[in-house]
Structure 1
Amino acid sequence: MPPKYSNSEDKLSDKVSETYSNWEQQDQLIFMWLLASMSPNLHSRMVGCVHAFQIWQSLHLYFETQTRARVCQLKSQLKGIKKQDSLNSYLLAIKKIIDTLASVGSPVDPAEHIQIILDGLPSEYNPLVTSIISRTDPYSVTEIETLLTTIENRLERQKQEEQESLNMQANYVQFPGGFQGRGQGYFRGRGQQNHRGRNRENFRGGKSFGRAPSRGYDKQNNYNRPICQVCNKPGHTALNCYHRFNPQYQDSSAQQVSNSSKTQQKAMVTKGNLDYQSNVSALMAVPDTFYDPAWYPDTRATNHITANASNMAGKSTYTGETKLKMANGDSTSIQHIGHSYLYSSNSNKPLFLKNLLHVPSISKNLISVSQFCRDNNVKFEFTANNCCVKSQDSKHTLLEGHFTKGLYVFHNISVGPSVCNSVTTENSNSIRELPNNKCDLYRIWHAKLGHANYKIVHDVMNKCGVSVSKNSTFSLCKSCCLGKLHKQPFYYSNTVYTSPLQLIYTDIWGPAPIPSSSGSKYYIEFIDAFSKFTWIYLISNKSQALQCFSHFKNMIENQLNSKIKCIQTDGAKEYLAFSKYLNDHGILHRISCPYTHEQNGSAER
């Protein structure tokens, strides 16, 4: 800041020096520029400032205080941060806060960075934390992150192994406690159903005389021994069974079962008290070699699944890497993918099984409830003892199932290519061949019915006993697109403008989601048709459009020494208010047709 007076004489006469005058002029320009560039909420903090450097000092003091508060907040977050989700997200959260501190001028020391990481780790990382703290040579942050990532992978693998060991407990099948006797299969007493014998499956009945307790060496846990799910013999589990790698093996009791639907009702009651027969029946392990032809609805399944490839009407080998994930967390491979048809005695039309997966290792055929409803326009109804599938249109029952052993099951249905090649209606003896491509069938009847919409075609074909898939699977009909157009094509204009202001395009844009620093939410633009030069004015409301045009007209006509001949707008209300003003100044007003923004294309773009 130069001195205001050159000497004492000038000070007495109040004569300001030329150097000070030039500086003061530049200072005031900077002063006004700073005020204009600020948001309105900062203007109140600049009260009392006369020079530009005073504004800078006020801004520095204000933002320095804000920065200190922000630094305190970030450091408080660092102290309270803990590992909750994955290690990667935990380390990234710490790195983000530390980078923010560095950007505001408060960097964090690497040693403090490492300490913050270690403080937020759970107790399972305590051995690693102890070894890091006791190390003489300090680690770097990168080395700490690498060590933690390695430990996390080991912990995850250990948890997975523990979970697998817990899942293996499903292979242990035990008898209810309370059997008594001297040895394996030995029961003695005068209680109800008196059994006596020293060999397995050697029972001799008697009458009930009242003395129920029998003798034995281990009164509670003598028969609480694991039963193998492969060979059904006691004393070992399926993991240690000699026959576990033989997929063709069946124990003698399982070979006597005639069909798969009865195998789940058999119980291993060859030893033990017969009073526990109903409880022991739930403990039987069914070998994987039995095939269940019934179909089970599953609300959690994303696709239909079958273990028998003969159930598929069309199939192709699956070459992808995706595996089928089951409820217990295991994954199994998919052999084929295809489709099939499902028939019931209650329906004369086939029901589609799209995206049917062939998984040989699955034990039951599953119907995906969500996919089945979408593909066949049906709904499922579940009651206490029954379930049924009904048509959404006719409310007719198409499938009926029953509740058996905790599951809903459909028995009397036929699935496969042998029953999917024809459909026989109740009112006609003719057989309609099902087309291989439902899209081609829909397009043929769509054209035969005069290019009717999907609902009409769907209703007609349903009444004729022919099923059509969803409309979303069909492509657009080109003839319908051309025949139903209600607009003529727009061609390029051949009009050539030879001088500025012959025609002005204008349009209003807004409202903006975030207002400008001056509170404006809209802007109005004026485009010269000759030069394509554009002028933009910020406005707070659309009602300011006429005022902006008046300012624009006075400015542009004065600068170019020419008059505006014509203006083109859309039919918005704010432009209808231009009519009187334009008539008074002899300016033509061209308005585009309703809902035809193409006519005002230069402004709309």
Structure 2
Amino acid sequence: MSNLMSTKLDSTNYMIWKLQISAILDAYSVIEHLDGSIPQPMQFLTSDAGVQSVNPTFLAWKKKDKAILTLLYSTLTSPVLAMVIGLSTSQEVWNTLEERFTSTARANVLNLKLELQSIRKGNESMNTYLQRIKITRDRLSAVGVLIDNEELLHIILKGLPKEYAPFASAIRTRDGILSLERLSVLLQTEEQSMKEESDPLLNSALAMFVSNTNKPNTGNFGNPSYGSPSYGNSSFNRGRGRNSFQRGRGGRSPTFNSNFTLPNTSFQQQTHQQSSPQGKSERPTCQICWKQGHYAIDCYHKMDFAYQGKNPTTKLAAMASASNIQHTQSAESWLTDSGASDHIIANANNLSPQVLYQGPEQVSVGNGQNLPIQNIGKMHQLPFPISNKNAISPFELVHADLWGPAPVVSTNAFRYYLVLVDDFTKFTWVYLLKHKSDTLTSFSQFRAMVETQFSLPIKALRSDCGGEFTSNQFNQFCASKGIIHQLSCPHTPQQNGVAERKHRHLVQCALALISQSNLPMSYWSYAISTATHLINRLPTPNLRP
């Protein structure tokens, strides 16, 4: 049976070894011999006359035990085999190995947790990185410590290099929990895509076209006999020619006329410089992810607002240009015609004549705002108007927001907290959470408390667009209870300012309490609860009669 085992037991693969050996022993109906279901029979039998004889059942049991013991020995490596020297039965060997590799001692569990948290991808392949995490997770499972999928996903994303930051941000902002198998496929696909982007042989003709080396003109492809390059009838004709730079029907040699002359940094000259061993290879740089090899209009992050940060309009504006202004645009560069009736440029020297605009028209930007033309090179976001809508009764409007994950897990295993603020009284409730998915449970408990203690319904709830507030279960709960759920616009925390400001107040008070009491940061959950209790009892203008 030992030939059925593909793995020998060492210090790192106990779970895999146990899975294989258990399946083999179960298939041959001898697993009961190890787990104690079949007890060891007596070695001798005593007759009524007081004569002892060897028990035949014991002999059969001992023969089977020796066979199983031989199988176990054949699947152990030398270091592990040394651990079971001196044990006489297969059950003793089995129990010793299980106790050795599934020790639930606190030190062992802590070491495994620290090992899992410290795993980093580094320069190894994605498959190797994920396999290391899975092995450590299996070792924790063997000692009875279960790691849920959401926490394991966070550990995997935390161990990725900074090049995977856009990917990690997109995964964290997804609605719902992604399965580990699906995440593994996405990570390996992302790894392959990054390898292809970093391959210099994959440069496209478009990448060569936008590179600008600003070198003196040497003629077409460096051959002075062609003279100054210009558009002709044969070099860019569309037909069936095989030459990649002349597509005329007859494949004629490049002859040029003087109908339209290119600047010195022409396509032909740049192509020569790109192919020349001495020329410096330049590739287009995306203004959204700042990776080379593609433009902003082709970037797959262009609709990922979570990746683009709090000022997505700045990133989206880059799609109006096909090249990076800072790196590739100069006085002699070609500019892409976007088809727009008006343009905004970064260098006023490109305008001729340069006259200040005095008209009343405004510029419409991507978020729908109209900005006045002030003839300056700096643009500011318009201020948000002060809200004049105040609740006139308790729980007419409740502000909610989720804080976390905390940089340090609390002593009672909390990583988040949910803050709920009544707009009328500004009274605050805080619910400590272990997972973001506990938000719905905590809010349902808060609603039940309000209806029982105050006999008032919650009429409206205002929150941001976090996945914990936009899930189908949360929306169905609000709809079933008649609660109007108001969502702030994406990347506009000002519209949920009451809850956002309350976060700052709570965290500042909690940090002051921790500092004053000389406690470690792992006690932040107690500090947040204490800060909430104190803030609710401080004088406030809302309590004036």
Q: What is the TM-score with the length of structure 2 in the denominator?
A: 0.25
Q: Which protein has the larger Cα radius of gyration, Structure 1 or Structure 2?
A: 1
What is the TM-score of this pair, normalised by structure 1? 0.23
Greater relative contact order (CA < 8 Å, ≥ 6 in sequence): 2
